[in-house]
Chains A and B, each alone.
Chain A
């Protein structure tokens, strides 16, 4: 069996395995009020959630498909199964998880990672979480890490109701509305005031079913003076039909707190990844996004930070690697809504083998955001002349008492650098891979070690075969 943390063993095939959907419960393909009602019934939603889902469906039907990003013509909602429940309940012990699902996550290295370096793990398989656990010492500090459905029916029901899709309203865009209608699974994290969680929590999302959608909802509330690092991973086997991921992440960062949200996205190349992530940051708080986008056929992904309190900060570090058949439209949005706020966006993108990479950003500085600062840097590397790379950064500045800087650069791998490395006995292929890895270094060094290793190997793997 392949293991994730062994460098020599990592390749894309480790994600590309599948199991039959044995005894799984599915709704019909398509999107109708009856299907939404059925999902709501299956999930034993409270009445307000049932009504909310139907309201979202109405909104979904009213909002047009976006006409500014990559084509999503290949995505037909009539062919998407919006809810697939694996044949198991959520377990708190690996030994109780069905063997095929357990094998899946073991091949992805999740239990090993939990033992070695995580404070808690959630594992979602298709539409439901199948495993969730948090270490005792973490729970004893008052940290809540559960599936969102349990929170919705338990003591945090009111908290969920007051926060669910308030930061990302269903009117935000078509796929936010879709998410609201058919969401299932995901995690709820609550970090009490003053708690510094020194080791991360992780959720891993695996979409196994052919032609299915995954619509998990992640809601994290970090109270004042606290710290959390949350890691999100995702993958799927490749099919010859479209799969859809339209998750939603809502992050509330309290006063003087820091939340680091790291994502390595490695969906299969038949996936439409139309995900929405948003954080609101209170006075003196900080959101740190670390984002690696490697998979998917088509991506729309722009984590947004609303700097709501005085002195709130945002850092976004991202890398996007678009290979053959991929159109990855990624970036970030920041709204400076209070004085003394600051944002720093630093991204790298690589386009290769016909891949399309688009960096898209928005920095909005409102009139009240006096003394705010923002810096955006995006660098793009073109590895061949059949690929495409675009940068589309927007700035809207409404006070003169702000400093905003932006720089963008597009270029190719330096022939001189390749020549230098080759003159020292390194093959051209390895030299190019080495340069690309170095280019991506600012992101990999922000990731926990084993994820950095995974990312570097993904890049290395993608680069192999690029020559000749």
Chain B
């Protein structure tokens, strides 16, 4: 590997904005990484290995260069599956501890067969001050009437370059509920492309990022509606501090035949400090008449009325910002169905350590 082009916008715009894609220099070939897999007692979830060949044609958010990067690790994918009719509602946890000064990659397949439900938490960790390169590619295969709940938590070290990529396909009435919490790393590339292929399939995605220092976060989320009456909701909430820089690409793509579909996308960015850079490009692409697509974005500082209210109650501006950021994170953390991981995530945000009593 050398350079990668990632997070390509489905429909490009002016080059001078530098939003059409991200070019990543000096990408290191990867070694295989073994996750620590925790399956709750009595869970019907099945964990195995697969070559993931059938998923290679899935479109992913980061893009094809990610496939090539993960291939350099030369390892089989880890597969977590719920067989037909099985409800694995207690979460399977994949804990990935990435070593410092290494480049590691892993591919994961999450498969929910017809009428099943699967909940998976993926935690990306390293030592607090560590630097390295990590790459995780996750395929979601959601069959008819099935559901995957996926929670991804990034608490990587301060020097990490991290690629996190998702590609998914949902059959009729298939559902995916996704929560992505981004707290760690130095240079982060997040991509997700979900094909709402089936009738009444639905995607819910909550993305939360809380970044500071000189962290760069580059995201590309896509919901591609093929199925009739398919629905998506993408909410991105974030807080930028210090000299952090973030780019969010969010696309709702209504394709031919997706009549009756609805797509909603919302972004709320709190720009904490004056050195931050926020870039946003939300797309709605539409070739179908009978659809409804909405996008809204609010970018800037805290609302003056809210700030006045808090200051009149003795909370200074910095504390007010901190309280709002904290509230945003906690609202996302409530979606983590494991109290220990939830506690560690909140603590990482508050103190930079995952220690919990």
Contacts and interface: CB of A to CB of B under 8 A. Distances in A.
Given A395-B279, A408-B282, A385 B288 contact: yes
A30 B295 CA distance: 44
Given A394-B14, A406-B282, 6 more contacts: A382-B291, A385-B287, A396-B17, A397-B279, A399-B271, A411-B293
Which of B15, B272, B284, B290 lies at the interface centre, i.e. has the most chain A CB atoms within 10 A of its CB?
A: B284
B16 to A, nearest CB: 9
A412 B274 contact: no
Given A68-B20, A401-B274, A406-B282, A392 B296 contact: no
B299 A395 contact: yes
B17 A380 contact: no
A312 B144 CA distance: 55
B286 A394 contact: no
B280 interface: yes
A362 B287 CA distance: 23
Given A400-B273, A402-B300, A405-B298, A412 B290 contact: yes
A393 B251 CA distance: 11
A408 B294 contact: yes
Interface in B5-19: 11-15, 17, 19
Contacts, number: 133
A137 interface: no
Contacts of B282: 393, 406, 408
Contact of A68 (B14, B273, B300): B14
A407 B282 CA distance: 10
Nearest to A412: B289
B327 interface: no
Nearest to B303: A403
Nearest to B262: A411
Contacts of A391: 283-284, 295
B8 to A, nearest CB: 12
B297 interface: yes
B301 A401 contact: yes
Contact of B295 (A401, A407, A411): A407
Contact of B299 (A362, A367, A404): A404
A402 B276 CA distance: 12
Give the 8 A-B CB pairs with smallest separation, nearest first: A400-B271, A385-B289, A410-B293, A68-B12, A404-B299, A406-B297, A408-B295, A403-B300
A103 interface: no
Interface string A357-395: 000101000010000000000001011110111111111
A325 B286 CA distance: 17
B277 interface: yes
A382 B289 contact: yes
B292 interface: yes
Contact of B291 (A383, A402, A412): A412
Contacts of A407: 294-297
Nearest to B249: A394
Nearest to B277: A398
Interface of B: 11-15, 17, 19-20, 240, 254, 256, 259, 271-274, 276-301
A155 interface: no
B343 to A, nearest CB: 31
Which of B20, B256, B282, B298 lies at the interface centre, i.e. has the most chain A CB atoms within 10 A of its CB?
A: B282
A409 interface: yes
A67 interface: yes
Nearest to B299: A404
B296 A390 contact: no
Contacts of A367: 274
Which of A367, A408, A410, A412 lies at the interface centre, i.e. has the most chain B CB atoms within 10 A of its CB?
A: A410
Given A402-B300, A406-B295, A362 B17 contact: yes
Nearest to A380: B286
Given A392-B281, A392-B283, A394-B17, A400 B300 contact: yes
B296 A384 contact: no
Which of B271, B289, B299 lies at the interface centre, i.e. has the most chain A CB atoms within 10 A of its CB?
A: B289
A384 B13 CA distance: 26
Nearest to A351: B286
Which of B13, B17, B281 lies at the interface centre, i.e. has the most chain A CB atoms within 10 A of its CB?
A: B13
A406 B236 CA distance: 14
Given A392-B281, A393-B282, A406 B296 contact: yes
A240 B285 CA distance: 30
Contact of A390 (B274, B285, B300): B285
Nearest to A352: B289
Which of B271, B286, B288, B294 lies at the interface centre, i.e. has the most chain A CB atoms within 10 A of its CB?
A: B286
A410 B281 contact: no
Nearest to B16: A362
A397 B300 contact: yes
A385 B293 CA distance: 15
A384 B290 CA distance: 8
Nearest to A372: B300
Contacts of A395: 278-281, 297, 299
A387 B285 CA distance: 11
Given A393-B282, A400-B273, A410 B291 contact: yes
B295 A384 contact: no
Interface in A400-435: 400-412
A388 to B, nearest CB: 5
Contact of A67 (B12, B19, B290): B12
Given A385-B259, A392-B11, A394-B279, A400 B298 contact: no
Contacts of A387: 287, 289
A407 B264 CA distance: 11
Contacts of B256: 385
Which of A392, A403, A405, A406 lies at the interface centre, i.e. has the most chain B CB atoms within 10 A of its CB?
A: A392
B284 A411 contact: no
A410 B284 contact: yes
Nearest to B13: A392
A382 B288 contact: yes
Contacts of A398: 277-278
5 contacts: A387-B287, A398-B278, A405-B298, A406-B296, A409-B293
Given A388-B286, A407-B295, A412-B290, A397 B277 contact: yes
Nearest to A391: B284
Contacts of B295: 391, 406-409
Which of A394, A397, A401 lies at the interface centre, i.e. has the most chain B CB atoms within 10 A of its CB?
A: A394
B281 A394 contact: yes
Nearest to A382: B289
A294 B48 CA distance: 58
B13 A360 contact: yes
Given A395-B279, A406-B282, A411 B291 contact: yes
A410 B254 CA distance: 10
Contacts of B298: 404-405
A391 B293 CA distance: 10
A394 B293 CA distance: 17
Contacts of A394: 13-14, 17, 19, 279-281
